[in-house]
Amino acid sequence: MNVGAWIARFVAVEGDGPRRALWAEALGAGPAPEAAAVLDALVRQAALRDVGAGLALRALADLEGMARRVGPGRMADLLAAARDRDLDAALLVLEHPGRPRRGEELGPPPDPAVEAHTLGHRKTAARGPRSPLLERLLTDPDPRVVRELLRNPRLREAEVLGLTSRRPCPEAVFWHLARAPRWIARPAVQRAVIRNPYAPPRLALVLLVPQPDPFLTEVANDEGLHPAVRDGALRILGWRRRA
């Protein structure tokens, strides 16, 4: 199946969950070189601001979950195939560029009003109506509380942006965000993740692909970001110039 047919299938389904299932099919079935080639072509289309390809790529943001779904052996086969064929766009997604800054080293001082409650109580409050405690939970250091916050329909974009911009911030928080379709679809949230040096570089790279040229140039010049993220911005700009 060619990349156009795959994009049509991704557009035809609703929601990131069904699109993740399609990714598992695209990456997990058939010869690894063919699957890597589909991934490469789709990433390049997303880099050219193809709307359907962008929808598909957003569903791949949770690379950790996809690796568990198709299996580490299959991911290794896809990576080897992409390297053998010099599929630069597939490599942008498949290669592991290392860890971000460690968000656990120097966290914010504990909030006594939050620490007075058990984990179970904080998780329940994170799912509940707006309250002074819910607002203070936006700084909770436990990613399990953040996961519940991101599922709360009462949460506002400004609050998610504040959460996403936390420095330092545990890596797990960003992966929970990648699994929150309501929020990871928003350009402002994507850019806040990309700008945060504590975000996993693999997630930042996927989110970089459809971003506009001025933002990519800004990222490429930001010395505070992971070298792989800065290099990724330059690679995407290069694909666009050669398209």
- The closest alpha carbon to 33, from 71, 80, 73, 88, belongs to 80
- Condensed to tens digits (0 to 9), the pLDDT of residues 63-109 reads 989 999 999 999 999 999 999 999 999 999 999 887 776 655 545 55
Q: How many CA atoms lie within 13 A of 213 on its CB side?
A: 6
- Which DSSP string corresponds to 206-221? HHHTTS-HHHHHHHHT
Q: What is the pLDDT of residue 101?
A: 64
Rounded Cα–Cα distance for residues 7 and 163 (Å):
32
**Interval 141-159 mean pLDDT:** 90
Q: How many CA atoms lie within 13 A of 76 on its CB side?
A: 3
Positive or negative, the Cα torsion across 62, 63, 68, 71? positive
Listed by start position, the domains of the chain span 3-94, 112-242
- Condensed to tens digits (0 to 9), the pLDDT of residues 2-51 reads 888 999 999 999 888 899 999 999 999 899 999 999 999 999 999 999 99
DSSP state of 224: T
- The closest alpha carbon to 88, from 194, 198, 217, 240, belongs to 240
Of 59-63, 109-113, 199-203, 231-235, the poorest mean pLDDT is in 109-113
Q: Is 165 exposed, middle or buried (0-12, 13-18, 19+ CB in 10 A)?
A: middle
Q: How many residues does the chain have?
A: 243
In the block, residue with structure tokens 């001082």: 109
Q: What is the pLDDT of residue 106?
A: 47
In the block, residue with structure tokens 């779904």: 69
Positive or negative, the Cα torsion across 8, 3, 212, 181? positive
Judged by DSSP in three states, 178 sits in helix
Q: How many CB atoms lie within 10 A of CB 146?
A: 26
Is residue 158's pLDDT more than 80? yes
Rounded Cα–Cα distance for residues 191 and 51 (Å):
18
